[in-house]
């Protein structure tokens, strides 16, 4: 029970146990690594005489051979260790380094795969290295093959790459190529990557990646006009409710339900657009909106720099059968816009509540599209 935490004590209690002896030999090697101190290999050799399957002893001898710059012997020992067990993380890490040194990408990824399968801690060490390496075309193609074979760590790595890759544009390219082979990119990873691309200012790349997996997405119109998608992990190009005290927005059963406490104003729901310059018409239909004029919500569109380029008031649902419409104009220097529903801060009683079952922004003169 204590051989991993205190090998010396375990060895004192059971000096005949080859696996315990091997663990002590391995700890001794690790403690002496890089110090140039002499190491008595007889302890590891004794462990193998006691138990020829004591893989930790083979790892100890292999690490010692590497430190003595006897790489051929180290390779021979680690090859034998692989025959005994593939569940030795230290041995897999050594194999990774050796494969890299030999320029053998297939072997490197093979041992990455094994290490990530056998140890949860391995992802903390290996994911950052793998994310940096995936920009190399030679590695990239083989990595795609590995990921599309769906090893148990693939999903975690994909989400890690989406959130942490230094070059989100390269990550988007990798994800598109993966999806061409097999649709394994999670909605969480898609949302994370598009958010990072947008925050970085890579608007076109973010949209192109979004359009690669969202059917019928049009850049000249808003999406999901009838609130039918109800996505668990919406991207910035989908309807996103904004959580805030006193404000609530939810999409369910083809309806956007909104509410706002008295004296609370702010964004209820929003959707990022990449509209080309021109005139657009916002049309929609509300249900159960009943407020004084000073407390009615409104739709607003702003550029990425915060400039407002259009506003459409929402009348009470009893007016015009709940229908509303208005024009918005996108200037030439506004490549990315945000369409948002705003609640007004007001002392009106009762507080705002109601639904929207249709909202669409489309080129002026058109009735809109599928979105």
Span 228-275, pLDDT tens digits = 998 999 999 999 998 788 899 999 889 999 999 888 889 999 999 999
Residue 305 lies in a domain: yes
Range of the domain at 355: 240-363
pLDDT at residue 349, as a whole number: 64
pLDDT higher than threshold 80 for residue 190: yes
> How many structural domains is the chain composed of?
1
Prediction pTM value: 0.85
Residue tagged 């403690």 (tokens): 31
- Does residue 320 form part of some domain? yes
Identify the band that residue 369 occupies on the pLDDT scale cut at 50, 70 and 90: very low
From 175, 324, 325, 198, select the one nearest 272 (Cα to Cα).
198
Distance (Å, whole) CA 214 – CA 269: 20
Q: What is the pLDDT of residue 172?
A: 94
Percentage with pLDDT > 70 across the chain = 98
- Mean pLDDT along residues 333-351: 88
On average, the pLDDT of the chain sits at: 93
CATH value at residue 340: 2.60.120.260
Crossing angle for the helix pair 187-200 and 203-213, to the nearest 10 degrees: 160
At 80 the pLDDT is 96
Is there a domain that residue 336 lies in?
Answer: yes
- pLDDT above 80 for 319: yes
Write out the DSSP string of 31-94. Answer: HHTTTT----THHHHHHHHH-TT-HHHHHHHHHHHHHTT-HHHHHHHHHHHHHH-S--HHHHHH
> Looking at the domain assignment, is residue 258 inside a domain?
yes
Please report whether residue 147 resides in a domain: no
Please state the rounded mean pLDDT for residues 82-105: 96
Res. 370 pLDDT band, cuts 50 70 90: very low
Average pLDDT on 344-353 reads 79
pLDDT (tens digit, 9 = 90+) per residue, 44-75? 999 999 999 999 999 999 999 999 999 999 99
Question: How far, in Å, are 98, 105, 145, 147, 193 from residue 139 at the CA level?
Answer: 16, 7, 10, 12, 21
């Amino acid at each position: 029970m204590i051989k991993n935490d205190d090998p010396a004590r375990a060895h004192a209690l059971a000096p005949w146990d080859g696996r315990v002896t091997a663990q002590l030999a391995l700890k001794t090697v690790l403690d002496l690594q890089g110090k140039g101190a002499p190491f008595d290999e007889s302890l590891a050799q004794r462990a193998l005489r006691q138990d020829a399957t004591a893989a930790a002893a083979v790892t100890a001898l292999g690490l010692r051979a590497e430190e003595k710059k006897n790489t051929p012997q180290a390779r021979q020992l680690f090859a034998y260790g692989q025959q005994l067990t593939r569940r030795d993380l230290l041995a897999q890490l050594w194999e990774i380094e050796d494969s890299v040194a030999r320029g053998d990408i297939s072997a490197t990824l093979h041992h990455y795969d094994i290490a990530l399968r056998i140890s949860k801690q391995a992802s903390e060490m290996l994911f950052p290295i793998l994310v940096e390496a995936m920009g190399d075309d030679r590695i990239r193609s083989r990595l795609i093959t590995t990921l599309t074979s769906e090893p148990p760590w693939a999903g975690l790595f994909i989400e890690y790459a989406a959130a942490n890759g230094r070059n989100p544009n390269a990550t988007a390219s990798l994800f598109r190529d993966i999806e061409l082979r097999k649709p394994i990119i999670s909605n969480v990873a898609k949302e994370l990557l598009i958010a990072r691309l947008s925050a970085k200012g890579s608007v076109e790349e973010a949209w192109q990646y979004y359009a690669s997996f969202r059917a019928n997405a049009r850049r000249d119109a808003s999406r999901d006009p009838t609130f039918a998608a109800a996505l668990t992990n919406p991207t910035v190009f989908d309807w996103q409710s904004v959580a805030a005290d006193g404000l609530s927005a939810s999409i369910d059963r083809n309806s956007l339900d909104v509410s706002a406490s008295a004296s609370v104003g702010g964004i209820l729901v929003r959707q990022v657009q990449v509209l080309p310059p021109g005139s657009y018409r916002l049309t929609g239909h509300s249900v159960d909106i009943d407020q004084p004029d000073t407390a009615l919500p409104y739709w607003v569109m702003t550029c990425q720099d915060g400039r407002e380029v259009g506003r459409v008031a929402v009348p009470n649902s009893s007016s015009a059968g709940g229908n509303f419409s208005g024009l918005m104009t996108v200037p030439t220097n506004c490549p990315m816009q945000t369409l948002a529903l705003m609640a007004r801060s007001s002392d009106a009683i009762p507080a705002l509540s109601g639904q929207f079952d249709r909202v669409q922004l489309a080129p002026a003169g058109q009735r809109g599209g599928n979105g």
